[in-house]
Structure 1
Amino acid sequence: MHGGPRNRDRPRSLAARRPPVAGSSAPNSSLPARLRLSWPTRSLRGRRPHSQGAASSASGSRFPGSSARGTAWCAPPPHLEWHDAPIRELVADATGLPTAVDNDATLGAVAEHLYGAARGLDHVVYLNGGASGIGGGLIVHGMPVRGVSGYAGEFGQNRPGIASTADQQAPEGVLEDEVSRSRLLRAVGLTSADDPTLAAALSTSDDPSVAAETDRQRRILATALANAVNVLNPRAIVLGGFLAMLTEGATDQLTDLVRAQSMPANAEDVDIRAAVQADDRLLIGAAEAAFAGLLADPLSRLPERPGPLEEAR
């Protein structure tokens, strides 16, 4: 990732590769192999290809789970089956670089705040819809809010308010059980798909059952967003991942639903926006996390140089 806080132009990916991974496995055994697939470890330790000679100084990683101070996942995503995994240490050992790790939705919020849909705004609620559920990030007074242990923003684990019993599909479930990527996939007859493929399938479908499912999810999501508006009084709500698909052609509808359930004063200035960083938003956030240590102490990352006496020898 190229770019940094002194240059707030949108960063760009130098290269990307998404290797297929079958099933789930313990991170201790699979992580080094996955890193070799996604980027050769020797490149991470020295100079990356296509980087015009720029040396790597740090690594930033994002994972879909709850991070306790960036070291382990205490509330792991169900599809990974990782428990209390020391992710930062594993990545640092594999790359030989100082490593920062954080929740993917938190990093998505940072990326959209610095470069995307919430650029220039100091009070933002960000929700990201992914394969593992719904995560969230908060920007308050221009700063990310993580909570005392790093778990703030788990909107997907809140109990949803559902006005109509006909809309309820997961009794006793949480928000991410009702507003769900897997339900959208089933609605369009797919077993798996990346976000662009799913978005295209939803937008081109003329099946009434598909429209009914997106409307149902939109109504439930609106209640969750209204609760966030009442509590946090944000300037913008940014939706990423499959949640952004629920705004396609329906931003005004979703906004009206949210405002109808919010305190008028709190909802007066709020905008609902789709994330604009697309697939790069989580990588950009991870890159910002990696930059943080460098900016806090730039001299510590400079290569050691011989002193005057050593040079004289």
Structure 2
Amino acid sequence: MTESAQAGRGNSNDHVRRHNLSVILGLVHRSRGLSRSQLTRQTGLNRSTVAALVAELVDRELVVEAEPDSSNQVGRPSPMVRPHPRAVGIAINPEIDAVTIGVIGLGGTVLRRIRQATGHPPTVGEAVGISAGAIEAMRGELDSYSIVGIGVAVPGLVRTQDGLVRLAPHLGWEDEPFADLLREATGYPVLAANDAHLGVLAESTFGAGRGVTDMIYLNGGASGIGGGIIAAGSPLGGVAGYAGELGHTQVNSAGIVCHCGAVGCLETEVRRERLLALLGLTDADADQFEAALVASTDPAVLDEVHRQLGFLAVALRNAINTLNPELIVLGGFLGSLYEVAPEHLDELLATQPLKASRESVRVTRAELGHDLLMIGAGELAFEPLIADPAGFALAQRE
């Protein structure tokens, strides 16, 4: 064999090894732990290859092996492979009234969550300063981890290729290089994406959408309503990453003008602040808001819940007829609305969409609760690592 042929074969073998490392790490991450025998079955690789790949990931401190529970097992039990507790990502979610910072472990585990209230929509500079300050304040704690990077869940349009925030209207951000500024302030790699896109990614990986190939996630937050779509098992982003803006579906032709310039958008009719006002609250985190909403006996509150669910049903009718999903997941305050009167929305969706399309669709709440966007932003931070564990780890050591 010539030297060039040997080099070509070596490169090919290295490519295969790196691909298989990615597959193994991805499976362990998404499952939060599998036995070696399960990894062998799911990858189709032989046992010795899986053992060698796992050993390399152990050396890189990306997975750990543990003895299995041998109870109720026949034959020799297979070691369990779990995400390494040292590998973490930082999650950031700027909103109109706060910036939330989280520490997320491989396997989508939220290890720490801090909400820094602002009382006003933070500027880009303020959000960068709050995020960098929180990370610095956790420096002693973070020194025991290997930080792979930062993922940012932005309530607005984010350009996929470079993370530029094209428009986050409720924050007042337009064409802002938030990811670049945060990278400069912290020294960590930073990736940014639309918050609802990350929400559907989190729910499809760890929550209500596990195993579902066609789903819609609709998130209601202080900044409005966003959507994320999984179609045929893959995220639907569009040419630049702006797909899924279901908050700007028209639901009331006689409604008010939206900040986007259109009339009667969903997020002009379905709004958290209207419910806060009726509940006598000026601010509340997700758990406090839902507790107050569910406990309320005020007829005006229930009337407003029904009114908002009516407009939500119009948007979901259009989405069901257009995308034919198997599952619709409601997150943020939309999940709280559904919690108060699920039968009301179910009855509307039982008649409004086309019969053939509505027969197969289910509606449910997000399972991940207030951690959902933290987990979604963490997924963004982990993407480069899982795509190439060997190359990423080597780059981190240089």
Sort the TM-score into its range (normalised by shorter chain). Answer: 0.7 to 0.9
Q: 1:35 to 1:4 in 2, by over 3 A?
A: farther
- Separation in 2, partners of 1:304, 1:213: 53
Contact 2:286 2:332 in 1 (8 A): yes
State the partner residue of 1:311: none
Q: 1:5 to 1:107 in 2, by over 3 A?
A: farther
Q: CA deviation at 1:276?
A: 1.1
Q: Taking every aligned residue pair, what percent have the same amino acid on both sides?
A: 39
Q: CA deviation at 1:170?
A: 3.7
Contact 1:26 1:81 in 2 (8 A): yes
State the partner residue of 1:310: none
Paired letter, 1:20:
A
- Answering whether residue 106 of structure 2 is matched by residue 15 of structure 1, we say no
Paired letter, 1:71:
G
Q: CA deviation at 1:184?
A: 1.1
- Answering whether residue 246 of structure 2 is matched by residue 224 of structure 1, we say no
State the partner residue of 1:64: 155
Contact 2:252 2:264 in 1 (8 A): no
- Separation in 1, partners of 2:277, 2:127: 31
State the partner residue of 1:293: 384
Out of 181, 186, 192, the position equivalent to 1:90 is 181
State the partner residue of 2:192: 101
Q: 1:133 to 1:25 in 2, by over 3 A?
A: closer
State the partner residue of 1:73: 165
Out of 210, 215, 220, the position equivalent to 2:301 is 210
Paired letter, 1:120:
G
- Separation in 1, partners of 2:326, 2:396: 48
- Separation in 1, partners of 2:366, 2:252: 25
Contact 2:149 2:382 in 1 (8 A): yes
- Separation in 2, partners of 1:26, 1:224: 31
Q: CA deviation at 1:113?
A: 0.5
- Separation in 2, partners of 1:102, 1:19: 21
Out of 220, 223, 226, the position equivalent to 1:132 is 223
Q: CA deviation at 1:129?
A: 0.1
- Separation in 1, partners of 2:329, 2:390: 36
Q: CA deviation at 1:23?
A: 2.9
Q: CA deviation at 1:249?
A: 4.5
Out of 126, 139, 143, the position equivalent to 1:30 is 126
State the partner residue of 1:142: 233
Contact 1:71 1:101 in 2 (8 A): yes
Q: Any unmatched runs of 5+ in structure 1?
A: 163-167, 307-313
Q: Looking at CA atoms only, which structure, 1 or 2, has the larger radius of gyration? A: 2
Contact 2:216 2:329 in 1 (8 A): yes
Q: CA deviation at 1:22?
A: 4.2
Paired letter, 1:236:
L
Between 1:33-42 and 1:218-227, the stretch displaced more is 33-42
Q: Any unmatched runs of 5+ in structure 2?
A: 1-24, 33-106, 258-262
- Separation in 2, partners of 1:23, 1:179: 21
Q: CA deviation at 1:5?
A: 4.9
Q: 1:169 to 1:89 in 2, by over 3 A?
A: same
From the two aligned structures, give the one with the greater strand fraction: 2
Paired letter, 1:6:
V
Q: CA deviation at 1:25?
A: 4.6
- Separation in 2, partners of 1:299, 1:98: 17
What TM-score, normalized to structure 1? 0.86
Could you list the per-position Cα deviations for residues 34-66 of structure 1 after superposition, in whole angstroms to 9, with x for gaps in the alignment? 1233221783xxxx7268x43112211111111
Paired letter, 1:197:
Q
Contact 1:4 1:291 in 2 (8 A): no
The count of aligned residue pairs is 292
Could you list the per-position Cα deviations for residues 205-229 of structure 1 after superposition, in whole angstroms to 9, with x for gaps in the alignment? 1111111000111111111101100
- Answering whether residue 288 of structure 2 is matched by residue 197 of structure 1, we say yes
- Separation in 2, partners of 1:83, 1:247: 32
- Separation in 1, partners of 2:136, 2:142: 13
State the partner residue of 2:243: 152
Q: 1:183 to 1:55 in 2, by over 3 A?
A: same
State the partner residue of 1:6: 28
Q: 1:303 to 1:179 in 2, by over 3 A?
A: same
Q: Determine helix, strand or coil for the equivalent of 1:119.
A: coil
Mapping of residues 232-247 of structure 1, within 5 Å: 232-247=323-338
**CA-based RMSD:** 2.3
- Separation in 1, partners of 2:396, 2:378: 27
Q: 1:81 to 1:145 in 2, by over 3 A?
A: same
- Separation in 2, partners of 1:82, 1:244: 27
